[in-house]
Amino acid sequence: MSTTSSRRPVGATHLKAPAPDAAGDTGAIEATVKRILADVKARGDAAVREYAKQFDKVDLERFEVSDAERKSAVAGLDPQTRRDTEFAIERVRAFAEAQRATILPLEVETLPGLHLGHRVIPIETVGAYVPGGRYPILSAPVMTLVPAKVAGCDTVIACLPPTAHEAMIAGCHLSGADRIFRVGGAQAIAAMAFGTETIPGVDKIVGPGNAYVNEAKRQVFGPVGIDQLAGPSEIFVVADATADAEMIATDLLAQAEHDIHTRVGLITTDRALAEATIAAVERQLEGLSTANVAGPAWRSNGEIVVCDSEEAMIAYSDFIAAEHLQVHTADSHATAAKLRNYGSLFIGPLSSVVYSDKCCGTNHTLPTMAAARYTGGLWVGSYVKVCTHQWLDERGVAAVAPPAMRQSATEGMEGHRRAAAFRLSRGQLLAR
């Protein structure tokens, strides 16, 4: 049986353990973000403009990307890049539409005269933060903007750093952004949360970013919704003796090149595979052009675990609750059915994280830092509200009023008791 406990499971031995966590000066980040949020809330565009100059070294006369600039960015795309971007958009849209079709309104009469239900209501205004980052991740706007449009949100805006590659603006345009702004960092989160003279306030903010963006999302949460608090990317593989060490090493390094803080790991029942994977990673690093990033990630955060049994392997995987979880076992579907905690699952050796990262259709904005123990990733359902309603006739009131009156009396809530009793007496009069 797998475990959802935060306690480390038994029966697992590390051949390579990650370095101890180095939390860094989170207090300084928190204080800086708090100051930026307050400043943008008080001074709007002027503060945003000053922070763009301070952090991005850009003096912006206006923030919004014009229609002409949007079209120019699209026209400037390499033709094959545009085709590939549109392929990704279609795949993400098709899957989001299929998911949306499963989220249905409800009307049910649970007792005679007692009618309950819910409506599925799109969030009115959504803001997507599109990170600049180490690479121009062309799929990033696809993942945050396309599901919002499928969900039916009225207005979807995108904010991206003013230094972002022009292809990212093209991606926002092709993905359906209603408005695009050249604003990045914590100041972008503040602008979307509070609104400025030119940037509209939104109801929910989605999309990953750096530590300052993450902290800003945390601080504005409440009046404004957020999708999640995202940490560095993660990939783990659960595998048995049938797995290919070279393939696993390739996949670990593919994810490791995201950031030096990326977590990568193998959880296996086969020691020989574990040892072969360590050797393959070291060998492949020698010829990897992004080894300056992937190497530190592997050395600091790489984890290779040998488990006593399949049960222990499943339990350890559920303990880790990885963002991306690949399954390389003799019967990958059977193993997958036993797993519980993951952001997204990649079943079988032909299912690589890279396909989801780029274009296969599932969303790549996923829970990290063990949040997969309680939530999944971004999806079309993140952009709608499921809101309940009820209506009663005299029969329904006759059924629910007496217990509601008794419970209210027991709790000492006389106003509640009267509200229930009033409708009961009125219903009896109307029934005569």
C-alpha closest to that of 227 among 198, 189, 268, 199: 189
Phi, psi for 83 (deg, rounded to 5):
-60, -40
What confidence tens digit (pLDDT) does each residue in 172-220 have? Answer: 999 999 999 999 999 999 999 999 999 999 999 999 999 999 999 999 9
- Residue 22: which pLDDT band, with cuts at 50, 70 and 90? low
Among the listed residues 173, 258, 261, 324, the single catalytic one is 324
Domains of the chain: 12-24+231-376 (3.40.50.1980), 44-104+121-227 (3.40.50.1980), 393-431 (no CATH)
Q: What percent of the chain has pLDDT over 70?
A: 97
Q: How far is 300 from 115, CA to CA, in rounded Å?
A: 57
- Is residue 364 annotated as part of the catalytic site, yes or no? no
Tokens of 303: 């984890």
Question: How large is the average pLDDT for residues 7-16?
Answer: 90
pLDDT of residue 24: 60
Nearest to 337 by CA among 328, 349, 347: 347
Q: How far apart are CA 18 and CA 197, in angstroms?
A: 47
One DSSP character per residue, 237-272 reads: EEE-TTS-HHHHHHHHHHHHTT-TT-EEEEEES-HH
What is the per-residue pLDDT across 287-298, written as a single tens digit (0 to 9) for each? 999 999 999 999
Q: Which residue has the higher pLDDT, 388 or 20?
A: 388
Cβ-contact 278, 248 below 8 angstroms: no
Are 201 and 213 spatial neighbours (Cβ–Cβ below 8 Å)? no
pLDDT at 135 over 90: no
pLDDT band at 8 (very low <50, low <70, confident <90, very high): confident
Instruction: List the Cα angle 414/418/419 in 5-degree steps.
Output: 120
Residue 20's pLDDT is 85
pLDDT per residue as tens digits for the range 148-173: 999 999 999 999 999 999 999 999 99
Work out the average pLDDT over 299-316: 98
pLDDT digits (tens, 9 = 90+) for 218-235: 999 999 999 999 899 999
With a threshold of 0.85, does the pTM exceed it?
Answer: yes
Angstrom distance (rounded) from CA 119 to CA 229: 27
**What's the confidence (pLDDT) of residue 2?**
43
List the catalytic residue out of 323, 333, 389, 416: 323
In the DSSP assignment, the letter for residue 152 is T
Residue 333 among the catalytic residues: no
Task: Give the pairing type, strands 384-392 and 114-122.
Answer: antiparallel
**pLDDT tens-digit readout, 27-48:** 999 999 999 999 999 999 999 9
Q: Tell me the pLDDT band of 432, cut-offs 50, 70 and 90.
A: very low
**Chain centroid offset of residue 399 CA:** 43
Q: Confidence class of residue 59 from pLDDT cuts 50, 70 and 90?
A: very high
Segment 61-102, tens digit of pLDDT: 999 999 999 999 999 999 999 999 999 999 999 999 999 999
| Contacting residues for 331 by C-beta, under 8 A, at least 6 apart | none
Instruction: Report in angstroms the alpha-carbon separations of 203 from 128, 185, 207, 223.
Output: 11, 19, 14, 8
Give me 208's structure tokens.
């990953």
Confidence of residue 5 (pLDDT cuts 50, 70, 90): low
| Residue showing tokens 């299912």 | 351
pLDDT of residue 132 exceeding 90, the answer is no
Question: Residue range 250-275: average pLDDT?
Answer: 97
* pLDDT mean over 389-410: 97
- Taking only the tens place, the pLDDT of each residue in 325-334 is 999 999 999 9
pLDDT of residue 427: 61
- Tokens representing 175 are 């993905």
Sign of CA dihedral 249, 252, 258, 259: negative
| Confidence category of residue 134, pLDDT binned at 50, 70, 90 | confident
Mean pLDDT value of segment 338-348: 98
pLDDT at 21 over 80: no
Does pLDDT of 133 surpass 80? no
Amino acid at 407: Q
Query: Rounded to whole angstroms, how far apart are CA atoms 326 and 265?
Result: 10
Whether residue 1 is predicted with pLDDT greater than 60 in this model: the reply is no
